[in-house]
Amino acid sequence: MTPQERIAQLRDEINFHLYRYHVLDSPVVSDAEYDLLYNELLALEQENPELVTPDSPTQRAGAEPLSAFTKVVHPAPILSLANAFNAEDLFAWRQRIGRYLPDPDMALDYVAEPKLDGLTVVLTYENGRFTQGATRGNGEVGEDITQNLRTITAVPQRIPVDPQSELPVPPYLVVRGEVFFPLDKFEQFNERQRQEEKQVYMNPRNAASGSLRQLDPKITAGRPLTLYCYDLVAWDGVDVPAKQWERLDYLRQLGFPVSSDSQYCDNIEAVASAYEQWKEKRNQINYEVDGVVVKINDRPLADSLGFVGKDPRGAVAMKFPAQEKTTKLLDVAVNVGRTGILAPAAVLEPVEIGGVVVRNATLHNYDEIARKDIRIGDTVIVKRAGDVIPYIVGPVADLRDGSERVVEPPTHCPVCGEPALRVPGEVAIYCDNPSCPEQLVRRVEYFVSRGAMDIDGFGTKTGVLLAEVGMVKDLADIYYLNRDDLLALEGFKDKKVDNLLNGLEASKNQSPVRFLTALGIRFVGSVVAGLLIDAFGSIDELAAADQERLEQIEGIGPGTAVSVTSWFADERHRALLEKFRAAGLKFAADKPEPAEAGSQSLAGLTFVITGTLPSLSRDDAKALIEANGGKVTGSVSKNTDYLLAGEKAGSKLSKAESLGVTVIDEAHLKGMIA
């Protein structure tokens, strides 16, 4: 085989595996097998640079930066949609279009699709190759973002993606879809941006649009963007199905990612009930949806109805009730956090948003208040989406009457009165007094919380009280509480004290990952703590590491490295750790039980690992499974036998549950081996 032939073969195979992984969520090779193919291709291309083409999977890492985007004229207008807000509006739409139908009362069927809140993209394929990708722009002319779209693994580089497919290669096909940020990835991504002191995005939509409109494709390549396609804009030389429902399937068969949440509806009442169901489930899915798009299934008929302005008559967007409302910003309170950050918090005139009364909202930091020019007394737009804390989108400056006041950053800690400090290059303002009583209360609250040491019987109120009466002066003091002293407190009867002391005793066995998380070191949440304990095995080894060593760990940025080393360098913290050690807390991770040589108790079983396990790191768990004959893959599919889940399991858990995959914990796994 010539290098050229092998390269072509590798590209097909790699594209197919990317598709299995990103689109079908059902990989057929392990990550290691995939890497082998990819590395072989990379090596061949390095030896034969003249054979590198822009659609090679190796180019997903991002080409050279552009100086500006060029304009692209769309082959057909990229239309928008008229809105409906309830069933009544929907029925009115059906009534209205009756006038343009051959028979106003004719039976129609529909497709109800999730209205994805992302960024519209227009993808052009010539002879099966992805040749151009553009933004919507004004609907007539968009911007050429081909280079950026190539970095998104869900965007097929060639169609049909499956080399074995019997579908003919379309000579010309233009597809419309929506690029978006999955919600779980968005939170992780923002957390990392925050840690690395880079731009934090307001919502997944802004993150998607900010990531796509980068002149440097390498930046886009680093973002976990994905895509769903839902329409054909133009085609030539192929027959495409006339029904929308079948068009979705056609797109799917070509290898485009298509939402599996779309529904076929036999009549308009079925559409109304699909909408009601969607309102319920919109907060349970891993992408942001702001409504349901209703399309007449018969596309030629729908298209024959024409437009009103830029809105086709043959489809309508049923929007969900607003998750945004306006209200008055009454005040900006200052909260003291456990790291001493003085955080602004909006005090709002209570407003009902999506069935919940909102009184407070986050304002992130003072720079953001200044940037958005939010003033006390302003009418502000408040957004509440899913389970995230409500936040202020911005002020409605037009409604000002001149009585509004500019928000001044605090000069002193509102609790202890010490001067506030601003670290150069950081947005946060701190109370730098380590014995600030409010900081201690917040640290205790965090230490005992579910995401950290998870101490039964130790609630926020107890923490606040113990700090206030002086029984807890530092974090480790909670392990030195005395039964009689506790009984002397108001409301502390035998049973309550027993529960508290038992909870504390049991928590001494918590994993070092939880312990490290609970210490509340800046930038060290449970994910980073997991990475650090994975790398060092114990808190003592971590304490001995220098900045350079920390930065070598994947996922640890310089900000985190500095924060960790300076925390451990502080003598007060060293003393605190010794106090914890003396109390009997666990500083080192358990080593996985060495598997019996040749044990095949997991032979033929496929596992996926997610979340933070109580004692095993993910690598250890993987090694343990493999040593016993099992297989570990990266994503949950119908072929997964078990999902091994720990704390903070995210989308993989919901995926497993929806597919009926058995979910087990670490103890269960160990039981299967024993």
Residues that bind ligand IVH in the complex, under the rule CB under 6 A: 79-81, 113, 115-116, 120, 178, 230-231, 293, 312, 315, 317
Q: What is the closest distance, in whole angstroms, from the C-beta atom of residue 115 to ligand IVH in the complex? A: 4
Which lies closer to ligand IVH via its Cβ, residue 227 or residue 504?
Answer: 227
Hey, what are 171's tokens? 């000579």
Distance, in Å, from the CA atom of 228 to the CA atom of 136, rounded to the nearest integer, reads 15
Distance, in Å, from the CA atom of 563 to the CA atom of 178, rounded to the nearest integer, reads 39
Distance, in Å, from the CA atom of 280 to the CA atom of 262, rounded to the nearest integer, reads 15
Which lies closer to ligand IVH via its Cβ, residue 34 or residue 230?
Answer: 230
Q: What is the closest distance, in whole angstroms, from the C-beta atom of residue 286 to ligand IVH in the complex? A: 15
Residues 350, 358 contacting (CB under 8 angstroms): yes
Residue with tokens 């670490």: 666
Residues 336, 342 contacting (CB under 8 angstroms): yes
CA nearest 216: which of 66, 69, 54?
66
Q: What is the closest distance, in whole angstroms, from the C-beta atom of residue 27 to ligand IVH in the complex? A: 26
Q: What is the closest distance, in whole angstroms, from the C-beta atom of residue 571 to ligand IVH in the complex? A: 57
Which lies closer to ligand IVH via its Cβ, residue 208 or residue 440?
Answer: 208
CA nearest 266: which of 300, 247, 243, 248?
243
Residues 330, 349 contacting (CB under 8 angstroms): yes
Strand partners, 376: 405
Q: What is the closest distance, in whole angstroms, from the C-beta atom of residue 312 to ligand IVH in the complex? A: 5
Distance, in Å, from the CA atom of 665 to the CA atom of 507, rounded to the nearest integer, reads 19
One-letter amino acid of 672: M
DSSP state of 661: P
Dihedrals phi, psi of 664, to nearest 5 degrees: -125, 165
Which lies closer to ligand IVH via its Cβ, residue 258 or residue 564?
Answer: 258
Whole-Å CA distances, 653 to 145, 388, 412: 34, 19, 45
Q: What is the closest distance, in whole angstroms, from the C-beta atom of residue 120 to ligand IVH in the complex? A: 4
Burial pattern 602-623, b for ≥16 Cβ within 10 A else e, equals: beebbbbbbbbbebbbbebbbb
Q: What is the closest distance, in whole angstroms, from the C-beta atom of residue 261 to ligand IVH in the complex? A: 10
Q: What is the closest distance, in whole angstroms, from the C-beta atom of residue 136 to ligand IVH in the complex? A: 6
Which lies closer to ligand IVH via its Cβ, residue 126 or residue 290?
Answer: 290
Which lies closer to ligand IVH via its Cβ, residue 135 or residue 433?
Answer: 135
Which lies closer to ligand IVH via its Cβ, residue 143 or residue 197?
Answer: 143
Which lies closer to ligand IVH via its Cβ, residue 303 or residue 534?
Answer: 303
Cα torsion at 182, 188, 193, 196 (round to 10°)? -160
Residues for the chain: how many in total? 674
CA contacts within 13 A on the Cβ side of 153: 17
Which lies closer to ligand IVH via its Cβ, residue 293 or residue 627?
Answer: 293
Which lies closer to ligand IVH via its Cβ, residue 317 or residue 334?
Answer: 317
Hey, what are 173's tokens? 């096909």
Q: Coil, strand, or helix at residue 447?
A: helix
CA nearest 388: which of 288, 275, 459, 318?
288
Cα angle 128, 131, 135 (rounded to 5 degrees) comes to: 125
Which lies closer to ligand IVH via its Cβ, residue 229 or residue 342?
Answer: 229
Residue with tokens 């930066």: 65
Catalytic residues: 115
Whole-Å CA distances, 279 to 86, 105, 178, 275, 557: 11, 28, 20, 6, 40
Distance, in Å, from the CA atom of 350 to the CA atom of 364, rounded to the nearest integer, reads 20
Residues 60, 150 contacting (CB under 8 angstroms): yes
CA nearest 150: which of 301, 15, 292, 39?
15
Q: Coil, strand, or helix at residue 575?
A: helix
Q: What is the closest distance, in whole angstroms, from the C-beta atom of residue 605 to ligand IVH in the complex? A: 38
Distance, in Å, from the CA atom of 586 to the CA atom of 457, rounded to the nearest integer, reads 20
Residues 350, 359 contacting (CB under 8 angstroms): yes
CA nearest 437: which of 410, 409, 417?
417
Which lies closer to ligand IVH via its Cβ, residue 78 or residue 351?
Answer: 78
Distance, in Å, from the CA atom of 498 to the CA atom of 209, rounded to the nearest integer, reads 54
Q: What is the closest distance, in whole angstroms, from the C-beta atom of residue 523 to ligand IVH in the complex? A: 36
Residues 382, 348 contacting (CB under 8 angstroms): yes
CA nearest 209: which of 285, 303, 118, 326?
118
Distance, in Å, from the CA atom of 150 to the CA atom of 157, rounded to the nearest integer, reads 7
